[in-house]
Structure 1
Amino acid sequence: MSSSSSTSKLTNVLGKSKSPYLLQHKDNPVAWQEFTPSTIKLAQELDKPIFLSSGYSACHWCHVLAHESFEDEDVAEVMNKYFINIKVDREERPDVDRVYMTYLQATSGGGGWPMSIFMTPTLEPFFAGTYFPKARFKSLLIRIAELWEDDKEQCLAMGKGAIESLKDMSGSGSSARLPGTLDEILATSPSSKIYAQLVQMHDARYGGFAQGGSRSGGPKFPSCSMTLEPLARLASYPLSEQIDREKAREMGVKMIRGIWKGGIHDWVGGGVARYSVDAKWIVPHFEKMLYDQAQLVTGSLAFALISNPDEAEDEAHRKILEEDRKLCFDLAADILEYTLRDLKSPEGGFWSAEDADSAPAKGAKKSEGAFYIWGAQEIDEVLRDDAELVRDFFGVEKEGNVELQHDMHGEMRGKNILHQAKEYAVVASKHNKSEEELTSVVQDALNKLKKRRDTRERPGLDDKILTSWNGLMLSALSQAASSLPDEYPIQSQCLTAAEEVASFIKGRMWDADKRELARSWREGKGPIGQTDDYAFLIRGLLDLYEASGRGEHALWAVELQKRQDELFWDNAGGGYFASAPDEHVLVRMKDAQDAAEPSATSVTLHNLSRLSLIHSDEYENYENRAELTYLSIGQELKQMPRTFGYSACGLMDLEKGYREVILIGSSSDPMTADLLRLIRSMYAPNQVLIHMDPSNPPTGLAKINAVVKSLIASIEAGKEEGVSLRICENGTCGIPVRNIVEAKKLLGVS
């Protein structure tokens, strides 16, 4: 094989990057380049195939591949000799990652990170994989280099064919819109299909829904858009006689309980890991992602509100609902305490993730979970007289409690992952204590263990701030400010933190002159924003508006939606492209399928429905775009609605019917506070709350909302006195009520 001498002169340029993931690879002997026009032009000039490696900073297997291969001089020599090597942070460039991940999934039947793609100099992929052990990876590099030299035409043909197939799959090669109507989609009963599938997949023993459709086994993800969000609607809305609403509620709470009791929940420091590798939720993949924290807060709050003791059938049922409600509030508060303490930047935005790996001792090689796991002897040293009780409660064993099958590299041998191994009553009885005494001992032990753990080396922090994930966190904080009981101390911090997030993004990441969002911030702005940045932020702002009553948040959401429509709307096929046009992203795809995060499409569908009530002048425009977006994924909603679960939630909200709840009353009036508490005690994602304080009327909203404009005129004319509550549906407002009893009847609260 021959090679160009120009290739060998390339050096690793990642030291100039701002991405934490790329900076992790700045000292590799691989001559890494960034995904830029100049790099692609260089590959074409040298006529060299490109090796593209995509991952993210908290990715454990990305680290394994790096340690084994990218840090190896021999492997790097082969890479540098025969390839142009490009590193991509999938979180900053999901548009690039999405194209090649779709190719990987189509050709291998699976996907994941690290993603390893071999492609032509014109960016057309011809081979893909994920993690490769060192020997296999080096052999693969040589084989592909030989193939390029001996049969370049085959590689080029495979690449062109792959791109054409991706265009067909994405619909970007066709302008034909699928025929049909929204009623035709609803007639297939997506909600009943989702319910039937979740019942079939539900693990009744440990809670949750196993990957791959089976009832048990791992891995298990704290999935919200595909599980908790649909289950919450199924539990709340009387959509079909085929749906057992109480069973839907129980499945959601069972999953939350499994997460709370398991090792996936960080008992010592709070927060939740990315997923559990086992069915029991015990052994986590230890990285902590901001998007998981945010979504689990909103999911837990939803099930707390659904588990309403006032709706109990009898005393036994009331006790169950009280326990379930407390569990859900506890998890939400636990996660909020962690994120506000460990992921919030001093400027107000939230950092992206904490790594899975850290060094178990000073100077030692990093290993997965080292920060989180415990030897029995160390627990004995820290807890002394309480050690036996705590070991019993958390399932701690002298030899360690991690099964060999879940510890492939032997990094946790002899160590323990804390999880609730036994019920409080069982442990309390065994150790001759009341449950209250046991709870106190466990909490005191966790405080001591945290103090010890804080002396360890912390996992790496991905300190970039992503607009999309901060939008999710903005929703979580806003909803917590509204519905988390004030008996949880963290509740008092949530609204302030939410305002700070919005302020940070608007001040640092929004260019008002260009009307353009940045996707990320780390020592300055990162790449331009994509559809999910706009969609997730809009949702967060709408939640913040309802929590704060400050109309400027709703007005900015309206402006952002207009810009999202301008940048990403598909005039030919309906729906939204995931990113703006880019000549180096060969397939302009759509983000429609829900996964660990909700899709930009599904979140936008909810935003459009809510905005249609806030911006009445644009009602028909919003409704039309929503319908065309539903039709653009109509076949998928008919055939596999669970995969598009959060979009299906939007359909359920439409079936239930959207409404405006308008409260007029001074913020200082106790009756206003009572009515706000009542409204916020409901699980009602199908409604928009508009609070109008007569002393500070929302004049900005009045310019875009006919009802608000009319009511302000009534207030100024003295026709609206005292505190009142009314509901507006289908453009018509009902008669106002002025006391709690009538308000409960109006809202349908028990």
Structure 2
Amino acid sequence: MSTSTLTNVLSKSKSPYLLQHKDNPVAWQEFTPSTISLAKQLDKPIFLSSGYSACHWCHVLAHESFEDPEVAEIMNRYFVNIKVDREERPDVDRMYMTYLQATSGGGGWPMSIFMTPTLEPFFAGTYFPKARFKALILRIAELWDEDREQCEAMGKGAVEQLKEMSGSSNVAESLTSILSTSPATKIYTQLVRLYDTRYGGFSGGGSRSRGPKFPSCSMTLEPLARLTSYELSEEIDKEKCREMAMKMIRGIWKGGIHDWVGGGVARYSVDEKWIVPHFEKMLYDQAQLVTGALDFALLSNPSEGEYADQVKSLEQDRKLCFDLASDILEYTLRDLQSPEGGFWSAEDADSASEKGGKKSEGAFYIWAKSELDEVLGKDAELVEYFFGVKDDGNVELQHDMHGEMTGKNILYQAREHAEVAEKFNKTEDEVREIIKNALNELNQRRDTRERPGLDDKILTSWNGLMVSALAQASIKLPDTYPIKSQCLPVAEKVVSFIKQRMWDGNKGELARSWREGKGPGGQTDDYAFLIRGLLDLYEASGKEEHALWPIELQKRQDELFWDKHNGGYFASAPDEHVLVRMKDAQDNAEPSAMSVSLHNLSRLSLIASDEYELYEKRAEEAYLSIGEELKQMPRAFGYSACGLMDLERGHREVIIVGSPDKPLTRQFLHLVHTIYAPNQVLLLINPSHLPKALAEHNGVVKSLIEGDMTEVTLRICENGTCGLPIKDVEEAKKVLGVV
């Protein structure tokens, strides 16, 4: 058998990304044991291409090269060609991405890896224009034929280096030694240096601002929230931290990265002004921005004694954060929720301006001025002034490499409502109403266009992030936002879907994904993110079942992924075809599985306090496993560093005894829910539905349900000691530290 006789097998795949390539003339194979065995049998090098369905540059490479019969013929002649969905197989992607980053200094998707039949990589890159890609594959084929030994030696050396990196035993001595290096102060100093004072966000900093810009909540909003709230160091300006976060949130809200017409936020902005996005919308971004916005809504709550202008500014920030969270949730529940309950993964960057038309980046979202004039009629001039619309388009050529947006406009808030009101002799309220009506009209017009492609696989990890967002929104959003009432039922529905479809109770194992059935086995982040979502849902709902399943999941995560030699969590279970078992510790667009696990362990040590020492020991060992990194580059491990900040602040349990239908219980719950306190957990003991199963894990809860529960009370437990029961809201405010 020769590689030229292989055929494209991707039509049998369930992955939306792989299915996008099922009609390519390239004889694509999936990453399976049979494919690896076939490559060894044929004794041909492997070309592995990894990406995801919403990736614009993945589409470009496919259109230019993988759809070209001449290029495909060369690929088929010399290589066994494998397609990988990075979202379904992050273990495969992570290993080769680490190699790519180590050899090139950068990374990204599409990822292009050339390797031996035994999976050892010897050359890597990302996107290549067609002429370069064609020349490259011919050169690699020539090199393999003429100097195979060199390729194999390079591959073996690369794998050995990756094993050394992953198996590092450079463990810190103690938590004290890590804390002594002041990770919080280091993060603050670096964020100040990278802060774009003009447009918000973090890139080159100050006058050197540049794109691209990512929300990167785990590396920005999460640390900034704690730096704003906690007293950690005299060197940290708390108000500056809040303002850096708020300027980024304002930039996202006003920019084109925010879909003004349909809601939601794109993955990132290619420019420094947040105007020109890469148009893909990812579920994980929606979830994290909801959580980050809600945090800063709480941190922008005016306190007594502030000046009137300060109060007004804080109230405006608070409303903007709530608006952003609500906007994202409305989009996500409308366009990304499956009928069965789970959330789909993403919407594509590419789309068509009319149904059945040619696809290009952002076509669904951008507008010619003539079309806006037609749709908006008499209000067109005002609306176009507000959104920075230009006759010849408002997208700079440097941000439109293929000229796909020439003459078109991205809607972004170019001017304040007050300026527009003055120019058009309107009140600000009138301007807001005109803009609102205009967006409704544009939404109807957009329905005539072809929607971006939908990645309709359901990932456990990203759904866990969304459960967190929904749970927090259900208790933090004001009642004036209609979406609030949907959040808790939807979160419950997601959890039910995962438990029924993606959880094997007999084996105690999660599936990574679901699309027409279960996908590959779950990875560390699937367990970690779901545990976090369930714990948030427990605190929002008070249902003990949402505290009990995390205890079971954490035990299973430890069994499957814990590194018994050096501490910390491997990213995936052992797989003979993934040559190096990597760890997922550094935060990126998503928080790392390690960082989320650290927070989960701390929370579980309070909720299941009878196992306090077990959870605390595991958390400490995990911190020590990345201790040197936390000392040297804490921002890259920002959410883990947040856990250290929580440790410095001190953890606490808040236990409320009382039926939710009693006014004082509701007042206590509202008070606890609406203060920013990531270092605390809330336990509700409802006399009508006693948490007897949870009591078997928490001695304090057990003693309380065996005692007198006739009165509504609130207790705070810290450092192994519980305070006296509190029966008054004002007293509760004092002990909770509410100003």
Q: How does the TM-score come out when normalised to structure 1?
A: 0.98
Q: Does 1:64 align with 2:60?
A: yes
Q: Does 1:393 align with 2:386?
A: yes
Equivalent-residue separation in structure 1 for 2:728 and 2:716 (angstroms): 14
Out of 11, 15, 18, which is 1:22 matched to?
18
Equivalent-residue separation in structure 2 for 1:350 and 1:622 (angstroms): 31
Equivalent-residue separation in structure 2 for 1:214 and 1:584 (angstroms): 48
Paired residue secondary structure (2:715) = strand
* Inter-CA distance 70–325: structure 2 relative to 1 (3 Å threshold): same
Alignment-mate amino acid for residue 118 of structure 1: F
Aligned residues between the structures: 739
In structure 2, the residue matched to 1:700 is 693
Equivalent-residue separation in structure 2 for 1:38 and 1:453 (angstroms): 45
Conserved in 2, the CA contact under 8 Å of 1:35 and 1:86?
yes
Q: Does 1:89 align with 2:85?
A: yes
In structure 2, the residue matched to 1:431 is 424
Conserved in 1, the CA contact under 8 Å of 2:209 and 2:272?
yes
Equivalent-residue separation in structure 2 for 1:499 and 1:453 (angstroms): 32
In structure 1, the residue matched to 2:75 is 79
Aligned runs of 1:462-611 on 2, under 5 Å?
A: 462-611=455-604
Conserved in 2, the CA contact under 8 Å of 1:312 and 1:318?
no
Out of 312, 317, 325, which is 1:332 matched to?
325
* Inter-CA distance 312–577: structure 2 relative to 1 (3 Å threshold): farther
Equivalent-residue separation in structure 2 for 1:700 and 1:216 (angstroms): 54
Q: Does 1:443 align with 2:444?
A: no
Q: Does 1:152 align with 2:148?
A: yes
* Inter-CA distance 76–213: structure 2 relative to 1 (3 Å threshold): farther
Q: Does 1:384 align with 2:380?
A: no
Once the two structures are superposed, residues 554-578 of structure 1 have per-residue CA deviations (whole angstroms, 9 ceiling, x without a partner) of: 1000000000000000000000000
Paired residue secondary structure (1:241) = coil
Equivalent-residue separation in structure 2 for 1:310 and 1:449 (angstroms): 40
1:312 Cα offset (Å)? 5.8
1:214 Cα offset (Å)? 8.3
Alignment-mate amino acid for residue 351 of structure 1: W
Alignment-mate amino acid for residue 323 of structure 2: D
Q: Does 1:227 align with 2:220?
A: yes
Write out the 4+ residue segments of structure 1 that deviate beyond 6 Å after TM superposition.
211-214
Q: Which moved more, 1:310-319 or 1:144-153?
A: 310-319
1:316 Cα offset (Å)? 1.4
Alignment-mate amino acid for residue 732 of structure 1: T
In structure 2, the residue matched to 1:409 is 402
Conserved in 2, the CA contact under 8 Å of 1:201 and 1:214?
no
Aligned runs of 1:164-183 on 2, under 5 Å?
A: 164-171=160-167, 176=169, 178-183=171-176
Q: Does 1:32 align with 2:28?
A: yes
Equivalent-residue separation in structure 1 for 2:468 and 2:171 (angstroms): 33
Q: Does 1:720 align with 2:716?
A: no
1:311 Cα offset (Å)? 4.9
In structure 1, the residue matched to 2:619 is 626
Percent identity, aligned pairs only, is 77
Conserved in 2, the CA contact under 8 Å of 1:329 and 1:484?
yes
Equivalent-residue separation in structure 2 for 1:605 and 1:312 (angstroms): 38
Alignment-mate amino acid for residue 155 of structure 2: G
Conserved in 2, the CA contact under 8 Å of 1:480 and 1:491?
yes
Q: Which moved more, 1:342-351 or 1:612-621?
A: 612-621
Paired residue secondary structure (2:48) = strand
* Inter-CA distance 575–352: structure 2 relative to 1 (3 Å threshold): same
Conserved in 2, the CA contact under 8 Å of 1:200 and 1:215?
no
Out of 248, 268, 273, which is 1:275 matched to?
268
In structure 2, the residue matched to 1:113 is 109
Equivalent-residue separation in structure 2 for 1:311 and 1:182 (angstroms): 37
Paired residue secondary structure (2:233) = coil
Conserved in 2, the CA contact under 8 Å of 1:202 and 1:215?
no
In structure 2, the residue matched to 1:290 is 283
Conserved in 1, the CA contact under 8 Å of 2:653 and 2:718?
yes
Equivalent-residue separation in structure 2 for 1:363 and 1:287 (angstroms): 20
In structure 2, the residue matched to 1:7 is 3
1:26 Cα offset (Å)? 0.2
Equivalent-residue separation in structure 1 for 2:486 and 2:281 (angstroms): 22
1:363 Cα offset (Å)? 3.9
CA RMSD of superposed structures (Å): 1.0
Equivalent-residue separation in structure 1 for 2:206 and 2:349 (angstroms): 27
Alignment-mate amino acid for residue 96 of structure 2: Y
Once the two structures are superposed, residues 541-565 of structure 1 have per-residue CA deviations (whole angstroms, 9 ceiling, x without a partner) of: 0000000000001100000000000
* Inter-CA distance 486–687: structure 2 relative to 1 (3 Å threshold): same
1:70 Cα offset (Å)? 0.3
Q: Does 1:374 align with 2:396?
A: no
In structure 2, the residue matched to 1:315 is 308
Equivalent-residue separation in structure 1 for 2:604 and 2:528 (angstroms): 12
1:215 Cα offset (Å)? 4.7
Alignment-mate amino acid for residue 76 of structure 1: A
In structure 2, the residue matched to 1:735 is 724
Alignment-mate amino acid for residue 228 of structure 2: A
* Inter-CA distance 7–580: structure 2 relative to 1 (3 Å threshold): same
1:722 Cα offset (Å)? 1.6
1:194 Cα offset (Å)? 0.3
* Inter-CA distance 315–510: structure 2 relative to 1 (3 Å threshold): same
Paired residue secondary structure (1:660) = strand
In structure 1, the residue matched to 2:636 is 643
Conserved in 2, the CA contact under 8 Å of 1:211 and 1:219?
no
Q: For structure 1, list consecutive stretches of 5 or more residues without a partner in the other structure.
A: none
In structure 1, the residue matched to 2:48 is 52
Conserved in 1, the CA contact under 8 Å of 2:264 and 2:281?
yes
Equivalent-residue separation in structure 1 for 2:553 and 2:206 (angstroms): 38
Equivalent-residue separation in structure 2 for 1:740 and 1:622 (angstroms): 32
Out of 632, 643, 655, which is 2:648 matched to?
655
Equivalent-residue separation in structure 2 for 1:729 and 1:363 (angstroms): 62
Out of 678, 686, 689, which is 2:671 matched to?
678
Conserved in 1, the CA contact under 8 Å of 2:224 and 2:245?
yes
Q: For structure 2, list consecutive stretches of 5 or more residues without a partner in the other structure.
A: none
Conserved in 2, the CA contact under 8 Å of 1:209 and 1:215?
no
Once the two structures are superposed, residues 490-531 of structure 1 have per-residue CA deviations (whole angstroms, 9 ceiling, x without a partner) of: 000000000001100001000000100000000000000000
Equivalent-residue separation in structure 1 for 2:29 and 2:233 (angstroms): 55
Conserved in 1, the CA contact under 8 Å of 2:14 and 2:515?
yes
1:361 Cα offset (Å)? 3.0
* Inter-CA distance 311–403: structure 2 relative to 1 (3 Å threshold): farther
Conserved in 1, the CA contact under 8 Å of 2:356 and 2:450?
no
* Inter-CA distance 312–303: structure 2 relative to 1 (3 Å threshold): farther
Paired residue secondary structure (1:52) = strand
1:736 Cα offset (Å)? 1.1
Conserved in 2, the CA contact under 8 Å of 1:201 and 1:215?
no
1:721 Cα offset (Å)? 2.5
Once the two structures are superposed, residues 358-391 of structure 1 have per-residue CA deviations (whole angstroms, 9 ceiling, x without a partner) of: 1223443210000000010111111100000000
Alignment-mate amino acid for residue 722 of structure 1: E
* Inter-CA distance 381–179: structure 2 relative to 1 (3 Å threshold): closer
In structure 2, the residue matched to 1:299 is 292
In structure 1, the residue matched to 2:412 is 419
Equivalent-residue separation in structure 2 for 1:705 and 1:389 (angstroms): 61
Conserved in 1, the CA contact under 8 Å of 2:195 and 2:205?
no
In structure 2, the residue matched to 1:198 is 191
Q: Which moved more, 1:631-640 or 1:361-370?
A: 361-370
Conserved in 2, the CA contact under 8 Å of 1:531 and 1:564?
yes
Conserved in 2, the CA contact under 8 Å of 1:182 and 1:630?
yes
Paired residue secondary structure (2:586) = coil
